Structure 1
Amino acid sequence: MKDKIYNSMQKFSRAIIQPVMFMAVAGILIALAALLRLEFMPKFLITVGEFINNVVVGGMIANLSVIFCVGIATALVKDKKGDTATIAIISFLIFLFANNFWLNYTNSIIEPTDIGLAGTGQAKVLGVQVTDMGVFIGILLGCIVGYVVNKTKDIKYHEYLSMYEGTKTSFVAMLFVASTLGVLVTYIWPFFNTLLTKLMVWISDAGPVGFFIYGIVNRLALPFGLHHLLWVPMSYSPVGGSAVINGTTYYGAQNIWFAELANMNSITEIDPSIGSLVNFGYTAIPLGIAFALVHTAKKENKDQVKALMIPAVASSMLAGITEPIEFIFLFSSPLLWIAHTLVYGFGMFLSFILGLRVFVGNIIETILYVLSVPMDMGRQWLIPIIFIVLTLLEYTIFVFMIKKFNLNTIGRTEMPDEQKINEAKEKRDRMKGKSNNSISNNIDEDDAKTALIVDGLGGKDNIKYIENCFTRLRIELKDPNKVDREILDLYPSKGILQSGNNIQIVIGLGVEEVKNKVVKELEKE
């Protein structure tokens, strides 16, 4: 039962990250639009900025629920993704009109006020007035569509009814499910909305303590690949806060921040929900880790450790991908991981109590956001001060703990050399009964590395499903006992996590390319 629940959470986490991957790009575009719309800019650039802002905010941010619905549904199914996308969008539309019909039928439709429908519990989605569920309805429908399609897409009927089999059956099933759900939420959602509002109020009242706890739990969930289950609700649902901006209600810290950027000329302060987005975990903290690991490495290993640290820190600071550096010490010392989570949470706590009110992410994001917000509103001058404090704090704690407890972090034990890797490859070839000079009978180095993944996972027939998120390959296996870690460890990954039939291989940047190579390897005869 425990494994089944964990596997379900893994699948959901894997699915929900697909649409979220595009949100970072949207944020950059909105920040760019805010810069172009500054008063001193030429009129042409201001017009361009307004165009970008209206397109991204109106076309994407305002319609996240339908984006989540389609994105999650297609991510959950293993094939028939085109049909699934069609069923998902139709199901979403059916829900809207069923819900709107029932609100009218029961005389529950609320008339807009001077500020529209903000705060009324209803909203217009794709032009239809419905119960305001924010992104939750998209997430819920996406999960249901994915489940229904997986269960019914292979159904076969008599030849006279063959036109209704497969995904056509899925479509019919979703007609009933979506329309029924549209009616039920008018009675059920107000209860859940009350609970979410209380949770939001607790986080808001907790202030810096709430963000401190959020930061700790966020990092603790990372090794299991479940941090998205916490981060997504904080960013895109009422759990992360709500704010009325220019008559429109926005839910979730990231949605609120994007709306504020789009309306910077008409707001007077940044909403407190920004606390979950002020995160030096991409910049200052990884830099402190790198300095500490280099400092504590043996003299003869320092150059090799530096060579590993530079790309790991760069991927974090420039692209917001932290796994390459975090997984370097996670497996060697869980004790360091606990210390790291505390500093991570403390960074959010410190930023909030000092009054920093600007989204702090990777360097590129942070620069754009800093330039988009007036200094008296965002207090950006605090960034270099907090950056230095957190870098020194992480560095000091790591150096102290590594030396005090004699932890076997990278560079303090024997570093692998090319000879040992070749010896391991030869051992692998002997184990598999293959040529001593090739891997999977292919002399191409990229194919050889890809073959290590496939063979290490127990071969093609043992791989049930493979997908990727930002940094990881996520694989579902038929038989976990067939995994050969001796072979799998030869692949230059950042770490490997296994729980039952599910295994994650941390790749870092370029993970999608690796996934595509593995898929091609699986398709070979």
Structure 2
Amino acid sequence: MKEKVMKSASIFSKAIIQPVMFMAVTGIILSVCAILKLDAMPTVGKDIGNFVFGVLSSGMIGQLGVIFCVGIAAALAKPKYKTDAAILGIITYLLFLYANNSWLTLTDRLAVEGEQGLFATGQGIVLGVQVTDMGVFLGIFLGVMVGWLVNKLGNIKLHRYLSPYSGTKSVYIIIVFATILFAIGITYVWPMVNSAVEAVVKTTTTAGSAGFFFYGFLNRMLLPLGLHHFLWMPLFYTPLGGTAEIAGQVYNGAYNIWLAELGNASQITAMHPSIGYLSNFGSISLPIGIAFALWKTSRPENRKKVAAILIPTVTTAFLAGVTEPLEFLFLFLSPVLWLAHSIVYGLSLFLTNLVGINIQFDTGINMIINSFAFPMNLGHQYLIPIMFVVTAVLEYFVFKQLILRLNIPTLGREVMVDSAETDTEVVTSSGNESFDPQVQNIVAGLGGVDNIESMINCYTRLRVDVRDENKVDMELLKDKVKSSGIVDKGKHIQIIIGVGVEEEREKVEAYMEHLKHVQS
């Protein structure tokens, strides 16, 4: 049972991160547009900013439901079904909209717009159709349904006279009726779910700064399992992260609210409290504190080597918001350090919210750009340098004390030997010389090409499902594969590569194709 739950969680986590990865790019572009729209900017800058912001706000942010639906359906589907799953994803989404609207119309339950439009009625306009307002949850539900049905029933065989309707075409027939029933049922069920969500949001928001501490603490504690997406994604993109009406339009989720405020900065008189989830020093000052502690507690003769390892990881965190290469240097080494890091991570969000910093930043680039987007009295950006130092010093002090008092063998505290003197690569069969030894070692460590069932990447991790965990050579993966850590979940292996993980996955896939060709 546990195996099935972990596998399902891993699969869903891999699927849902795919659409989200594009949101980071959207956020950077919208932040630049927000600066171009400032009153002090020339007219041409304002016009460009307004145009691009409007296009992305309506075309990307406003359509997250359908984007999640198609993205999740395609990501969940087996390789041979991915194209059909994407097509069925958009079809299913449209079917739901019109079925839901038709039933609301038939039962005379379409809400009537008031002075604030459809706000607080439980309904909204999606792709021009008035429907039960499920937000991004709709796309998630439908995407999962399509992906599951395609994988489960995609190989249906019919009589040869009916063969044009077999496979995914048969799945489509099932989806039509399943979607209609779902669209009808949700008109009765979702109002109750929505009430429950509102209760959760109210509880969280009334918790004040303490709520942000628990968010930050759990965010890090779930990271080793790769399940932290389940925490921040709903807060960023669904009503669980708050709801706000800005410039006559309703936005759900902390990140969506932030982007809407960016586009209407001149009209904002107070920042929404959900921005506290986005004001995060976790990839900016905390890595610096950790790195200094690791460097300071290392042996003097090792400090140059330690610095050579730490500087790239801190730079990656500051510029790209990717902290795993640094965190996995101590995660598996000391659970105590990881617990302490999770507490400090939560405290940094607590303190940041307590002093009233209200702008979004998860990288140094965000912090610099977004600091100019709002007046100081709204975002309290002038406190950022102070909190930057406070949180970095706090992390440094905690790590240094724990390492020294518990004598934790962190990086550089043991005798270090140059890897060039000891590193040897696994010898592979002839004909593979054109492939990087790193790639060959990954495939060999995972038990060979025939043992690799599926492979995908998120921001930093190569996520692999294997057929037989007994064939996985963990010693080879840990000793010969250059990574920040290996997460072993039996049949689900995660190799923490860093920001170059997508390129690494493509190399591994190319090598696997080469091996299959040789074997055939």
TM-score (norm 1): 0.96
| Deviation of the 1:78 alpha carbon | 2.2
Residue in structure 1 matching 2:499, options 494, 509, 512:
509
Aligned residue number for residue 477 of structure 1: 466
| d(CA) in 2 for partners of 1:110, 1:308 | 59
Aligned residue number for residue 227 of structure 2: 226
Q: Which amino acid aligns with 1:212?
A: F
| Deviation of the 1:502 alpha carbon | 0.5
Are 1:24 and 2:24 matched, yes or no? yes
Paired residue secondary structure (1:123) = strand
Paired residue secondary structure (1:279) = coil
Q: Which amino acid aligns with 1:51?
A: F
Deviations 1:2-31 (CA, angstroms, capped at 9, x unpaired): 111111111111110000001111111111
Equivalent runs, 1:268-417 vs 2, <5 Å: 268-417=269-418
Deviations 1:52-105 (CA, angstroms, capped at 9, x unpaired): 111010111111100110111111112222211110000000000000001111
| d(CA) in 2 for partners of 1:73, 1:478 | 23
Aligned residue number for residue 58 of structure 2: 58
Residue in structure 1 matching 2:441, options 434, 452, 456:
452
Equivalent runs, 1:62-211 vs 2, <5 Å: 62-79=62-79, 80-211=81-212
Are 1:12 and 2:12 matched, yes or no? yes
Q: Which amino acid aligns with 1:459?
A: G
| Deviation of the 1:416 alpha carbon | 4.4
The runs of 5 or more residues in structure 2 that have no matched partner are none
Does the 8 Å contact 1:196/1:239 carry over to 2? yes
Paired residue secondary structure (1:496) = strand
Does the 8 Å contact 1:117/1:248 carry over to 2? no
Deviating above 4 A after TM superposition, structure 1's stretches of 4 or more consecutive aligned residues are: none
Aligned residue number for residue 521 of structure 1: 511
| d(CA) in 2 for partners of 1:189, 1:463 | 40
| d(CA) in 2 for partners of 1:473, 1:100 | 41
Does the 8 Å contact 1:475/1:502 carry over to 2? yes
Does the 8 Å contact 1:471/1:507 carry over to 2? yes
| Deviation of the 1:158 alpha carbon | 2.2
Q: Which amino acid aligns with 1:408?
A: P
Per mean C-alpha deviation after superposition, the further-off stretch among 355-364 and 128-137 is 355-364
| Deviation of the 1:277 alpha carbon | 0.8
Q: Which amino acid aligns with 2:69?
A: C
| d(CA) in 2 for partners of 1:304, 1:441 | 35
| d(CA) in 1 for partners of 2:258, 2:289 | 28
| d(CA) in 2 for partners of 1:303, 1:505 | 26
Aligned residue number for residue 452 of structure 2: 463
Does the 8 Å contact 1:119/1:249 carry over to 2? no
| Deviation of the 1:114 alpha carbon | 1.8
Paired residue secondary structure (1:328) = coil
| Deviation of the 1:469 alpha carbon | 0.5
| d(CA) in 1 for partners of 2:212, 2:287 | 19
| Deviation of the 1:161 alpha carbon | 1.2
Are 1:443 and 2:425 matched, yes or no? no
Cα RMSD over matched residues? 1.2
| d(CA) in 2 for partners of 1:417, 1:177 | 60
| Deviation of the 1:40 alpha carbon | 2.2
Deviations 1:423-459 (CA, angstroms, capped at 9, x unpaired): 5x3xx44xxxx5xxxx665334x52210100000000
Does the 8 Å contact 1:440/1:451 carry over to 2? no
Paired residue secondary structure (1:169) = helix
| Deviation of the 1:264 alpha carbon | 1.0
1:416 to 1:118, Cα distance in 2 relative to 1, 3 A = farther
Deviations 1:223-266 (CA, angstroms, capped at 9, x unpaired): 11100000100101111111111222111100110111111111
| d(CA) in 1 for partners of 2:241, 2:430 | 49
Does the 8 Å contact 1:72/1:146 carry over to 2? yes
TM-score (norm 2): 0.97
| d(CA) in 2 for partners of 1:441, 1:411 | 39
Paired residue secondary structure (1:269) = coil
| d(CA) in 1 for partners of 2:223, 2:233 | 13
| Deviation of the 1:368 alpha carbon | 1.4
Does the 8 Å contact 1:118/1:247 carry over to 2? no
| d(CA) in 2 for partners of 1:415, 1:203 | 47
| d(CA) in 2 for partners of 1:421, 1:217 | 39
| d(CA) in 2 for partners of 1:440, 1:509 | 31
| Deviation of the 1:522 alpha carbon | 1.3
Paired residue secondary structure (1:476) = strand
Q: Which amino acid aligns with 1:502?
A: H
Per mean C-alpha deviation after superposition, the further-off stretch among 216-225 and 364-373 is 364-373
Per mean C-alpha deviation after superposition, the further-off stretch among 337-346 and 35-44 is 35-44
Aligned length: 513
| Deviation of the 1:420 alpha carbon | 5.6
| d(CA) in 2 for partners of 1:520, 1:256 | 41
1:440 to 1:499, Cα distance in 2 relative to 1, 3 A = farther
| Deviation of the 1:39 alpha carbon | 1.4
| d(CA) in 1 for partners of 2:402, 2:430 | 43
| d(CA) in 2 for partners of 1:417, 1:253 | 46
The runs of 5 or more residues in structure 1 that have no matched partner are none
| d(CA) in 1 for partners of 2:418, 2:244 | 55
Per mean C-alpha deviation after superposition, the further-off stretch among 108-117 and 200-209 is 108-117
Deviations 1:364-403 (CA, angstroms, capped at 9, x unpaired): 1111111111111101001000000011110111111100
| d(CA) in 1 for partners of 2:199, 2:417 | 53
| Deviation of the 1:309 alpha carbon | 0.5
